[in-house]
Amino acid sequence: MNRLVSFSYLTAIYCFFYLPIIILVIYSFNNSSYSLLWHGFTLDWYKQLGDDVDLATVALHSLEVSVLAATLATLIGTLAATCLYRHTFFGKNLLHGLMFVLIVSPDIVMGVSLLILFFLINMQLGFWSLLFSHITFCIPFVVVTVFSRLTGLDKNIFEAARDLGASEFMSFRRVLVPMLWPAIVAGWLLSFTLSLDDVIISFFVTGPDFQILPLYIYSLVRLGLKPELNALCSVMFAITLFIVVIFQFVLRKKEV
């Protein structure tokens, strides 16, 4: 009896999570614009996506920003995490606290604060403002991912490298980075997804000339259901799914 109750409860929550997404994906293949009924399988909506020139530009913008933001955030975040792990320096605890606050602080607060900054330094809203913002909100997630891996490492390995005459930089590059590799990849993937999906912060810090995918989707979603949009959202979902699978794979490997 108890087992049955818990099984049905888990199932119900999973249905709640997945039914809307599954329906979205199914209807992206439905050969009818608005009907709930099944009118046969079609790939038309996906073809329309492929032919959409606007969408291609917007998707390219998104990809540029996400790849660059993820890469730079991973670079800065990895260096920051090793610093936090290796050295004691002035303001170290403050830095730790700041990372934590950045992770939990509401996106909208970060969005408006960056908007004010860009306004006051007279920076035009567009690619650069978007890139800087995305790097900023990705950094703490990379630091946390890499730092948790660092605390699991044997500190002696690093000391050994130093004793054998490797410089700080050399031991970072030849000892730490190879050992941290899974966490670095995981941090990059996490940043890439966060950046690719961000709506709230981007909403404030990008201009009319530089449209990105989530904001493009947002402007369409406000108009209601559309089969092309179903297809686009399904593609985005598939990308996320793919990334989470790699992420799990990378982290699983770490334990071996």
Region of 224 (left: φ > 0; alpha: ψ -120 to 50; beta: rest) is left
Nearest approach, Cβ of residue 164 and other proteins (Å): 14
Closest to 78 (Cα-Cα) out of 178, 167, 165, 202 = 178
Nearest approach, Cβ of residue 124 and other proteins (Å): 16
**Please, which of residues 29-88 interact with other proteins by CB under 8 A?**
36, 76, 79-80, 82-83, 86-87
Is 250 near other proteins (CB under 8 A)? no
Q: Which stretch binds other proteins (CB under 8 A): 56-64, 99-107, 149-157, 174-182?
A: 99-107
Which of 49, 149, 211, 214 binds other proteins (CB under 8 A)? It is 214
Site for other proteins in 136-195 (CB under 8 A): 136, 139, 167-169, 172, 193
Residue 231 exposed, middle or buried by CB count within 10 Å (0-12, 13-18, 19+): buried
Q: CB atoms < 10 A from the CB of 80, how many?
A: 18
Q: Which of 43, 116, 157, 164 binds other proteins (CB under 8 A)?
A: 116
Residue type, 219: S
d(CA 28, CA 32): 10
Chain-centroid distance of CA 162 in Å reads 35
Segment interacting with other proteins (CB under 8 A) among 49-57, 147-155, 176-184, 219-227: 219-227
